[in-house]
């Protein structure tokens, strides 16, 4: 048996850890430093801060590491192929994982091109024409020793994992914008939601189990909870068929977002579970619900999960526990194979104490929690992010050709008129509206500054006397004002002589945030 030199064995062991680590955590930096020593190029506190670069293939440390890894593995491969060496099992394991690192980086450009072309076409069903080349590359490294030779099905699985990693990089950078540490932490948390903290275990077995893991995304309104959910949902594992050279599902059609707060409470159950014809008044045709329409490798995103009525919470609890549900008006159980991601800007623990949210349902949701960061936190960490984020938004709204000039103008206006310490209570959503307002009108007036002399109670009184609001709007605003005083659904319901569930549905959270931010009592 042949043994690797100690320094090369240590290097490959580091590369093996590097290839399976969370690339958005400082761990990545430490492993690069360990691998390169004095050759390491300082690139920042976190490997993945830039929102407009994916860095793969352009990152100087990655290129240096690849060169060293390729040299050592090529030497080992050639020695095994010629019969000159038969390495120990202890040396073959880091060799195998280092080769995965080489192969992924060799083909990541082709995979990136496949992803971007699929997005341009609007579907991802095209044949992967470069797969035979991938098979040959695998055979080149793994066919030299029977102990590490991969069967065809395992080669296809490794390819599917590589493709998933490439999609995850693309979507985490594309959807979760920002180059601050708080934004990087959100990417790191989303990466673990996709791959878990142990990618070796994920590749061996957990890749087929992640649909059973429910993710709960929390954070203030406007912090991008849906884009985080989408990044996770469209980055799920999809098996690859080496015969047809196609993936088992179109990742672009696998994400189903449902905004619960935008649906009347009477329709939410039918939208989720479907119904049988004649199940209730107005059910003229049978309807398939979103849980039934969701493919096995798809994701249903339930935004504003805190708005759900208790009876529907019970039914969804059954979905999470038993993976089954029934259409309204039927008893036949149907199976849900997909993944559920939920989001809320509410304090669910507080609502559980008040009886507005079921504890057993909460504990089925919270096995995996991600908290999004506020724009204020991102700018406090990295003030220069304002200009980058403005440019990112401007490019999307106005186009690449004018993004630079307009974004510089907008950033200068924000710093001059709003100030660098502006709190951005509406987060990235407010920043986007600021950009749109400036492009159209050359200015932006924050909501809190729009009516400085009018608090929640004064506005309600003025609209009431003017007869300019509906009874429903009055109830919503009045419930919100009283809740701002009590901080408790039960007490608000007692004062207004309403059911606490009605109070919960009527709260306007944007108005509530504005009242709290202004230090008003109603």
State the DSSP string of 407-423. HHHHHHHIIIII-TT--
- What 242-245 contacts at long range (C-beta under 8 Å, 24+ apart), as own/partner pairs, is 242/131, 242/135, 242/152, 242/153, 242/155, 242/156, 242/159, 244/127, 245/127, 245/128, 245/129, 245/131
Separation CA 434–CA 25 (nearest Å): 32
CA 325 to chain centre: 26
* 39 and 46 Cβ atoms separated by less than 8 Å: no
User: Backbone phi, then psi, for 15, in 5-degree steps?
Assistant: -65, -35
The pLDDT value given to residue 471? 83
Separation CA 503–CA 212 (nearest Å): 33
Separation CA 226–CA 343 (nearest Å): 8
The pLDDT value given to residue 453? 38
DSSP symbol at 247: E
Separation CA 171–CA 191 (nearest Å): 10
Per-residue pLDDT of the chain (522 residues; tens, 9 = 90+): 778 899 999 999 999 999 999 988 888 888 999 999 999 887 665 555 444 444 444 467 888 999 999 999 999 999 999 999 889 999 999 999 999 999 999 999 999 999 999 999 988 889 999 999 999 999 999 999 999 999 999 999 999 999 999 999 999 988 888 888 899 899 999 999 999 999 999 999 999 999 999 999 999 999 999 999 999 999 999 999 999 999 999 998 889 999 998 888 778 888 899 988 888 877 788 889 999 999 999 999 999 999 898 889 999 999 999 999 999 998 899 999 999 999 999 989 888 988 889 999 999 998 899 999 999 999 998 898 999 899 989 998 998 888 888 999 999 999 999 998 899 999 999 999 999 999 999 999 987 554 443 455 566 666 666 666 788 888 888 888 888 888 788 888 888 988 888 888 888 887 887 776 655 333
The pLDDT value given to residue 459? 63
CA distance readout (Å), 483 to 124, 165, 473, 512: 48, 45, 15, 8
Closest CA to 193 of 337, 44, 63, 299: 299
Q: What share of the chain is helix, strand, coil (3-state, %, to 5)?
A: 60, 5, 30
The pLDDT value given to residue 454? 44
Closest CA to 431 of 402, 455, 397: 397
The pLDDT value given to residue 52? 41
User: Backbone phi, then psi, for 235, in 5-degree steps?
Assistant: -110, 20
Strand partners, 218: 344, 371
Cα(first)–Cα(last) distance of the chain, in Å? 80
Please enumerate in sequence order all residues whose Cβ is within 8 A of that of 349, keeping only pairs 6 or more positions apart, or say none: 362
The pLDDT value given to residue 44? 60
Q: What is the CATH number of domain 228-371?
A: 3.40.50.300
3-class secondary structure for 267-306?
HHHHHHHEECCCCCCCCCCCEECHHHHCCCCCEEEEECHH
């Amino acid at each position: 048996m042949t043994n690797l030199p100690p320094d090369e064995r240590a290097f490959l062991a580091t590369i093996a850890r590097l290839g399976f680590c969370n690339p958005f955590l400082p761990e990545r930096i430490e492993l690069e430093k360990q691998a390169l020593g004095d050759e390491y190029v300082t690139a920042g506190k976190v490997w993945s801060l830039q929102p407009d670069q994916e860095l793969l293939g352009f990152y100087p440390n990655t290129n240096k590491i690849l060169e060293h890894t390729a040299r050592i593995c090529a030497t080992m491969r050639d020695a095994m192929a010629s019969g000159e060496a038969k390495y120990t099992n202890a040396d073959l394991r880091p060799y195998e994982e280092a080769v995965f690192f080489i192969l992924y980086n060799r083909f990541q450009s082709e995979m990136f091109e496949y992803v971007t072309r699929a997005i341009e076409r609007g579907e991802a069903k095209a044949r992967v024409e470069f797969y035979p080349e991938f098979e040959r590359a695998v055979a080149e490294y793994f066919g030299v020793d029977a102990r590490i030779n991969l069967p065809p099905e395992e080669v296809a699985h490794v390819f599917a994992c590589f493709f998933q990693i490439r999609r995850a990089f693309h979507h985490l950078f594309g959807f979760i914008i920002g180059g601050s540490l708080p934004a990087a932490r959100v990417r790191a948390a989303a990466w673990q939601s996709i791959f878990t903290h142990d990618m070796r275990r994920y590749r061996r077995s957990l890749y087929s189990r992640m649909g059973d893991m429910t993710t709960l995304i929390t954070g203030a309104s406007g912090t991008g909870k849906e884009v985080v959910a989408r990044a996770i949902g469209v980055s799920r594992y999809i098996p690859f068929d080496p015969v047809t050279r196609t993936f088992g599902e179109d990742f672009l059609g696998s994400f189903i977002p449902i905004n619960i707060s935008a649906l009347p409470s009477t329709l939410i159950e039918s939208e989720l579970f479907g119904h049988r014809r004649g199940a209730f008044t107005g059910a003229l045709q049978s309807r398939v619900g979103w849980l039934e329409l969701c493919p096995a490798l798809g994701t249903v995103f339930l935004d504003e999960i805190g708005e759900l009525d208790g009876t529907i919470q019970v039914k969804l609890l059954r979905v999470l526990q038993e993976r089954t549900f029934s259409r309204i008006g039927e008893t036949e159980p149907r199976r849900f194979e997909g993944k559920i991601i939920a989001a809320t800007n509410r304090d669910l623990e507080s609502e559980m104490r008040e009886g507005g949210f079921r504890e057993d349902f909460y504990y089925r949701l919270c096995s995996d929690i991600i908290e999004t960061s506020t724009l204020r936190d991102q700018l406090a960490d990295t003030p220069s992010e304002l200009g980058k984020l403005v440019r990112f938004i401007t490019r999307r709204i106005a186009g690449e050709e004018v993004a630079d000039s307009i974004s510089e103008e907008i950033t200068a206006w924000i710093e001059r008129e709003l100030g660098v310490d502006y709190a951005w209570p509406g987060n990235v959503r407010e920043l986007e509206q600021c950009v749109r307002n400036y492009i159209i009108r050359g200015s932006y007036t924050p909501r809190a500054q729009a009516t400085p002399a009018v608090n929640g109670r004064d506005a309600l009184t003025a609209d009431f006397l003017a007869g300019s609001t509906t009874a429903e709007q009055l109830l919503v605003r009045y419930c919100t004002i009283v809740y701002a005083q009590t901080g408790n659904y039960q007490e608000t319901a007692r004062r207004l002589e309403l059911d606490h569930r009605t109070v919960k549905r009527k709260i306007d959270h944007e108005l509530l945030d504005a009242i709290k931010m202004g230090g008003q009592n109603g």
